[in-house]
Amino acid sequence: MDARTIIQSLTGAFSEAISEAEVESPVRIRAYVDGSFAKEVCQYLKDSLQFDHLCSVCGVDYPKRNELEVVYHIASYDHPVVLTLKARLPRDSPEIESIVPVYWNANWYERETYELYGIMFKNHPNLKPLVLPEEMLGEWPLRKDYEGFPNRTARNLV
Amino acid sequence: MEEMLGSNEMIVHLGPQHPMQPGPFRLNLRLKGETVMDAEVELGFIHKGIEKILENKTYLQGITIVDRICYLVALTNEECFVGCVEKLAGIEVPERAQYIRVIVEELSRLQSHLLGMGEYGEFIGFVSMFMYTIKEREDILTLIDMVTGARVTHTFLKFGGVRDDLPEGFKEKALPVLNNLKRVIDDYEEMFNTDRIYRERAEGVGILTADVAKSLGVSGPALRATGVPFDIRKNEPYLVYKDLDFKVCTDTAGDCAARVRVRLNEMRESIYIIEQCLDRIPGGPIFPVNSPYGRRTPVMRVPAGEVFHRVEDPRGEMGMYMVSDGTDKPHRVKVRGPYFPTLQALPPLIKGTTVADVAAISGSMDGCTSEADR
């Protein structure tokens, strides 16, 4: 399955939810997805386009645009194409539907993104901190305006 | 977990410090007698904030930081980080440098598999195994030390090439070590095939099927032991892997013994790759001649953009997502380590087994908590 077919299939099925889809190289595709459709798009990718392997879920902070982005890297065990699916969220109340029902291993990635960026994943089965202590919750350390690094560490907080 | 505690059940914490663990993490087991009813992993005991640190260091300083994600596979971590920057900045790596990189990375795969197997032997009570493999690993580390000047954290790769050329007489020193290793791998295989206690501890324990492994997001030897030929070196070749002859080792059983068999066969393939590289390595520069990023440029600005680069780690698929905003520091680096999803898959895998098998299953995954936590 090549990159162009995948893009056509994806934009054809979700003409309103998918935007700025582009082929970066024969094995890399990029697209933006409307946050409220993320789960449906992932389900379609898994069922119809052989994207059965979730590489990672992560957040990126863009303070200038006052936005947070959730970035999904979805790949396949059969073909080498990796899809970078991004969803823009407002910085003050970031919320998106969890994709754990589609990709089981999104669980820990979403927990990590939640504790580092404060992005709420709705209907996540167990949304609590993974690598940070409970006391750090609400600090959102990977946001660009976090001032704790490197002077305030977990030890000073406890 | 306490709320769900039934009659005749108890909770046992394995860790954060426990002999069966590759690094600190806590495994909470809900037990009924000897049987594991439920399990939960707690992480964060060795969280270093590597992703935040990388955002605050220049690209050149970042190479030393990614070494510390997991010291065992420092060279593949560097390859992933350096590969991201090379893709963003459009740097072509000279062929000789690519061959040198393949040689040191395959040597690093050999030593990682050797230590992983030794640790696995130790976890299931076969302590002599560790003594055998650590001896051979020392020889491999000496070879890596000859090239990079360090045993574990190398900082050897540079954007566009490598730091140093192969030393004089490297091939003559390497070939006897590799030939000896081939013989030793045959010995290990015979030992595993004939040792009754080892076979009872490893065969039929912790069985993963291909469908389950895929749905859990596992990669690397644990996935290939279920029969899925997923290897980034073949699926999405980087460096000169597309010119080299090697096969992706798979197995069908999917149990602990199969994972060890896959690692043994992968070591044979790695030796074969290194031999090919030593024969075919061309002359020429080890660093691009007309690169705007000189070998010692302290400040390098990388064009704005984003890239997701994957390499094959000894443990599976290692990926990094790098966003550059045109300054001398990356805007965001996401490290997608191979052991993170494998560790996540541990609770469903050990559910229903006995406590004694927990160590065997967890050990056969050849883990590195440092990389899962970052």
- ipTM exceeds 0.95, yes or no: no
Which of B311, B323, B318 has its CA nearest to residue B371?
A: B318
> Over the stretch B249-306, which tens digit does the pLDDT of each residue have?
888 888 888 988 999 999 999 999 999 999 998 888 888 887 777 666 667 888 888 9
CB atoms within 10 A of CB A109: 28
Global pTM?
0.90
CB contact under 8 A, A133 and B323: no
Radius of gyration of chain B (CA): 21
Q: Name the CATH topology of A3-148.
A: Beta Polymerase; domain 2 (3.30.460)
Nearest residue of chain A to residue B212 (CA atoms): A104
CB contact under 8 A, B235 and A105: no
CA–CA dist B28, B6 (Å, integer): 15
Query: How many angstroms away from the CA of A131 is the closest CA of chain B?
Result: 4
Across the interface, of B214, B230, B340, the residue whose CB is closest to A108 is B340
pLDDT given for residue A60 in this prediction: 92
pLDDT given for residue B2 in this prediction: 64
CB contact under 8 A, A56 and B214: no
pLDDT given for residue B72 in this prediction: 85
- Give Cα separations from B84 to A44, B62, B320 (angstroms): 29, 12, 7
The tokens of B94 are what?
A: 């000279």
Across the interface, of B44, B236, B321, the residue whose CB is closest to A73 is B321
Mean pLDDT of B308-328: 90
Across all residues in chain B, what is the average pLDDT?
87
pLDDT given for residue B1 in this prediction: 67
Asked if residues B320 and A57 have their Cβ atoms less than 8 Å apart, the reply is no
* Residue A158 pLDDT greater than 50, yes or no: no
Asked if residues A133 and A80 have their Cβ atoms less than 8 Å apart, the reply is no
Q: What percent of chain A has pLDDT over 90?
A: 13
Across all residues in chain A, what is the average pLDDT?
84
SS3 content of chain A, % helix, strand, coil (to 5): 30, 30, 40
Which of B252, B265, B125, B123 has its CA nearest to residue B188?
A: B265
Determine the residue among B50, B321, B334, B371 to mutate to test chain A binding: the one whose Cβ has the most chain A Cβ atoms within 10 Å.
B334
* Residue B143 pLDDT greater than 80, yes or no: yes
Q: Which CATH number fits domain B50-286+294-373: 3.40.50.2000, 1.20.120.530, 1.10.645.10, 3.40.1390.10?
A: 1.10.645.10
CB contact under 8 A, A52 and B214: yes
Nearest residue of chain A to residue B369 (CA atoms): A131
pLDDT given for residue A154 in this prediction: 53
Nearest residue of chain B to residue A113 (CA atoms): B334
Place of tokens 């109340």: A93
Determine the residue among A27, A76, A130 to mutate to test chain B binding: the one whose Cβ has the most chain B Cβ atoms within 10 Å.
A130
CA–CA dist B272, B289 (Å, integer): 31
Residue B107's contacts (CB-CB under 8 Å, 6 or more residues apart) are B140, B143, B144, B270, B274
CA–CA dist B232, B318 (Å, integer): 9
Give the type of residue at B303: P
Distant-in-sequence contacts of A152-156, Cβ < 8 A, 24+ apart: none
Please state the domain extents for chain B: 2-42, 50-286+294-373
CB atoms within 10 A of CB B32: 13
User: In which element (H, E) is residue A82 found?
Assistant: strand A82-90
> Over the stretch A9-39, which tens digit does the pLDDT of each residue have?
888 888 788 888 888 888 888 889 888 888 8
* Interface contact B259, partner A, CB < 8 A: no
CB contact under 8 A, A105 and B341: yes
CB contact under 8 A, A108 and B215: no
Mean pLDDT of B155-165: 87
Nearest residue of chain A to residue B216 (CA atoms): A105
